[in-house]
Structure 1
Amino acid sequence: MTEEMPQAVRTLLDAANGNDTTAFLDGFTGDGVVDDWGREFRGAARIRAWSDAEFIGKQVSLAVERVERRGEETVVTAQVGGNGFNGPSHFAFRVEGDRVSRMTIRA
C-alpha cells in the first residue's frame, strides 16, 4: 500500500536527497527529535551534529519504495545510499502542523 506523503515529510526527504542541511533542519519543529536506532538527538544543534556525521554529511540518498500510514505516523520505506549506511530502512515521521516533530529510523 502506498499512501500520500505529507508535505512536511516530503520536505525533509527532498532536503536530505539534496544534501541541504539548512532545509533539513528547518523541516523540524523547534524541539524536533531524530531517533536513530534508539539514539535520540533533540533540537537543531544535536540533529545537525548527527546529520553532519551520519546522514547529509555522508551524502545520503533515499529512494522511496513505500509510504504508509500507521496510526499517527507516516512510515517511509527507502533504500539508503551514500557514503555511510547503505540498504533498506524504515523512517517513521510524526508531523505537527507543517513540520516534523520526530523522525525514527529502523531497519
Structure 2
Amino acid sequence: MSQESLEIPAAVQRALAAIDAQDNDAFVAAFAPDGYVDDWGRQFRGPDQIRSWSQNELIGKQATFTDTQVTQPGNPLTILTQVGGKGFNGPSHFTFAIDNDQLASMTITA
C-alpha cells in the first residue's frame, strides 16, 4: 500500500474507487444516509439526491480523476485532482468529512 493511500481514509478510498469504476451504486453507498454533496454551493442531501447528482454531474458524465494528491490530511480531508470526462474538466479540490467510516459530506471547490 502506498503512503498516499495510507493518508486517505477507507470511506474516501471507496468513493474514489467507485468513480474510477464508474459505479454509481458504490459511490452512493460510500455516503452516510444523511450525507451530502456540495457542488460549488449546490447541496444534494441523501442517497436519492446524491445518486441523481452523480448521474447528471459525475459518473453519468464519465468523470475521471487523475494526478490526485492529498492537500489537507485528516478529517476533513482535502484532495486536489484533475477532473476529466464529458462534464467539467480541470483541477478541483474535493473535501471529504468522514463520520463512522462513511462520508458525511463531499464538498467541491476550485
TM bucket, shorter chain: over 0.9
Among 1, 6, 21, which residue is 2:9 paired with? 6
2:17 aligned with 1:26: no
Matched, 1:62 2:65: yes
Number of corresponding residues: 106
Q: Which has the higher contact order (CA 8 A, sep 6+)?
A: 1
Q: TM-score, normalised by structure 2?
A: 0.90
Aligned-residue RMSD, C-alpha: 1.5
1:35 is the counterpart of 2:32: no
Q: How does 1:76-87 map to 2 (within 5 A)?
A: 76-87=79-90
Q: TM-score, normalised on structure 1?
A: 0.92
Any runs of at least 4 consecutive aligned residues in structure 1 with deviations exceeding 2 A, and if so which? 68-72
> When you count helix as a share of all residues, which structure comes out higher?
2
Unaligned runs of 5+ in 2: none
Residues 64 and 76 in structure 1, CA contact (< 8 A), matched pair in contact too: no
Contact kept, 8 Å, 2:7 with 2:73, in 1: the verdict is no
Question: Residue 102 of structure 1: which of 97, 101, 105 is its match?
Answer: 105
Equivalent residue in structure 1 for 2:19, among 16, 21, 44: 16
Q: How does 1:46-57 map to 2 (within 5 A)?
A: 46-57=49-60
Gaps of 5+ in 1: none
